[in-house]
Amino acid sequence: MADSSSLPTQEIVQGLLESPARIAPKYFYDAAGSLLFEEITRLPEYYPTRTERQIMVAHGVDIAHRLGSGATVIELGAGSCEKARELCQLIAPAHFVAVDISSEFLHDAVVQLRDALPDVDVRALAADLTADFTLPQDLPRQRRLVFYPGSSIGNFDPAQALELLSRMRGLLDDDGALLIGVDLVKEVAVLEAAYDDAAGVTAAFNLNVLNHVNQLIASDFEPSQWCHCAFFNVAESRIEMHLEASVENVVRWPGGQRRFARGERIHTENSYKYQAQDFVRLLNQAGLARTEVWSDDRSWFALFLARP
Ligand SMILES: C[S@@+](CC[C@H](N)C(=O)[O-])C[C@H]1O[C@@H](n2cnc3c(N)ncnc32)[C@H](O)[C@@H]1O
């Protein structure tokens, strides 16, 4: 299994030298970051996980009826594989491949999933889904279902999201499908609370990226000199997360350094919120013309089933 430490450090250094500085959200996920994300999913303010689950519970039979059994499921950004477990119990696939960048956490999740699903061929693939990754050669091409829950697609701007959706389409034959969870536009106070919870777990998650970056590029970020900052950017329809320097500081790494003024920010995440019809348009542009959508009572979140 590939280790996340082998990922290109060049990308991180380049982002740190930009103005404003940025760190890609995929670097949240070392083992500690993955555990913190699991904690976030249980917070009262963090509605996406439980809302997506409610949709699956309410409409699972309907979705399963459309997909049938014996498919090959490929989950991108599988994390704890909790949603995969529920989906696989519904649709009884023949093969399941969990793809995630957080290799150690993925490995543990897949070991547990194999115990829970003894009749499914369960495999782990530690890979960065934003780069080219190779699925196992012997994985059937027929009746594939790409599963991308959690509104992780929201981490990409619409142009990047279109490119990623097109690559997902490329994993499918004409009999394949994509099941994707997408967070929808809603009241700003609800959105902002979900990314800045009272218990400070999202703040700890955001700050942990500095520990991970220290490990990856041997830098000397001092997390206590940084604060979590999250807000909804209405014009871009996205939550933005940043880390803000609470004091002037200099961060050094082998071969480089950057001075941050007090109040200067590092942009760590975007989470785009969609109108359902805009996301359907994006799916269509990616070559996924036949779409169905299920939502919750408040229309806070949507699950799209899209086919070529
Ligand atoms: C927001 S969590 C969602 C986890 C789970 N799918 C869910 O719906 O609760 C994002 C997941 O995607 C993984 N991830 C983030 N960026 C990734 C990338 N570039 N390549 C592969 N996995 C990535 C993270 O490790 C994490 O498990």
Considering the domain architecture, whether residues 71 and 163 belong to the same structural domain is answered as yes
Considering the domain architecture, whether residues 223 and 279 belong to the same structural domain is answered as no
Ligand 1 centroid – CA 131 distance (Å): 14
Backbone angles phi, psi at 294, to 5 degrees: -125, 145
Whether the link from the prior residue into 20 is cis, omega within 30° of 0, is: yes
Q: What is the CATH number of the domain that holds 136?
A: 3.40.50.150
Q: What is the pLDDT of residue 9?
A: 87
Considering the domain architecture, whether residues 287 and 148 belong to the same structural domain is answered as yes
CB distance 83 to ligand 1 below 6 Å: yes
Does residue 41 fall inside a structural domain? no
Considering the domain architecture, whether residues 129 and 15 belong to the same structural domain is answered as no
CB distance 33 to ligand 1 below 6 Å: no
Q: What is the pLDDT of residue 8?
A: 58
Secondary structure (DSSP) of the chain: ---GGGS-SHHHHHHHHSSSEE--GGGG-SHHHHHHHHHHHTSTT-HHHHHHHHHHHHHHHHHHHHH-SS-EEEEES-TT-HHHHHHHHHH--SEEEEEES-HHHHHHHHHHHHHH-TTSEEEEEE--TTS-----TTS--TTEEEEE-TTGGGGS-HHHHHHHHHHHHHT--TT-EEEEEEEB---HHHHHHHTS-TT-HHHHHHHHHHHHHHHHH-----GGGEEEEEEEETTTTEEEEEEEESS-EEEEETTEEEEE-TT-EEEEEEEE-B-HHHHHHHHHHTT--EEEEEE-TT--EEEEEEE-
- Structurally, how many domains does the chain consist of? 2
Cα angle value 200/148/135 (rounded, 5°):
120
Does residue 57 fall inside a structural domain? yes
Considering the domain architecture, whether residues 80 and 164 belong to the same structural domain is answered as yes
Residue ranges of the chain with pLDDT lower than 50? 1-6
Does residue 300 fall inside a structural domain? yes
Does residue 288 fall inside a structural domain? yes
Strand 177-183 with 144-148, pairing: parallel
| Nearest CA, atom 10, ligand 1 | 77
Asked whether 124 and 110 are in contact (CB, 8 A), the reply is yes
Asked whether 96 and 88 are in contact (CB, 8 A), the reply is yes
Six-digit token string for 116: 């829970």
Considering the domain architecture, whether residues 204 and 146 belong to the same structural domain is answered as no
Q: Which residues pair with 122 in a beta bridge?
A: 96
| Nearest CA, atom 17, ligand 1 | 26
Considering the domain architecture, whether residues 65 and 205 belong to the same structural domain is answered as no
Does residue 243 fall inside a structural domain? yes
CB distance 109 to ligand 1 below 6 Å: no
Provide the residue range defining the domain that includes 106: 47-186+274-307
Considering the domain architecture, whether residues 202 and 180 belong to the same structural domain is answered as no
CB distance 37 to ligand 1 below 6 Å: yes
CB distance 79 to ligand 1 below 6 Å: yes
| Nearest CA, atom 6, ligand 1 | 78
Considering the domain architecture, whether residues 303 and 173 belong to the same structural domain is answered as yes
Considering the domain architecture, whether residues 130 and 265 belong to the same structural domain is answered as no
Ligand 1 atom nearest 102 alpha carbon: 25
Considering the domain architecture, whether residues 301 and 259 belong to the same structural domain is answered as no
> What percent of the chain is modeled with pLDDT above 70?
97
Q: What is the pLDDT of residue 256?
A: 95
Q: What is the pLDDT of residue 3?
A: 41
Does residue 2 fall inside a structural domain? no
Six-digit token string for 257: 């350094």
Q: What is the pLDDT of residue 1?
A: 34
**Biggest CA-to-CA distance, the chain:** 58
Six-digit token string for 53: 């689950």
Does residue 173 fall inside a structural domain? yes
Does residue 204 fall inside a structural domain? yes
Ligand 1 centroid – CA 77 distance (Å): 3
CB distance 49 to ligand 1 below 6 Å: yes
Considering the domain architecture, whether residues 265 and 279 belong to the same structural domain is answered as no
Tokens 């990856």 map to which residue? 216
| Nearest CA, atom 27, ligand 1 | 79
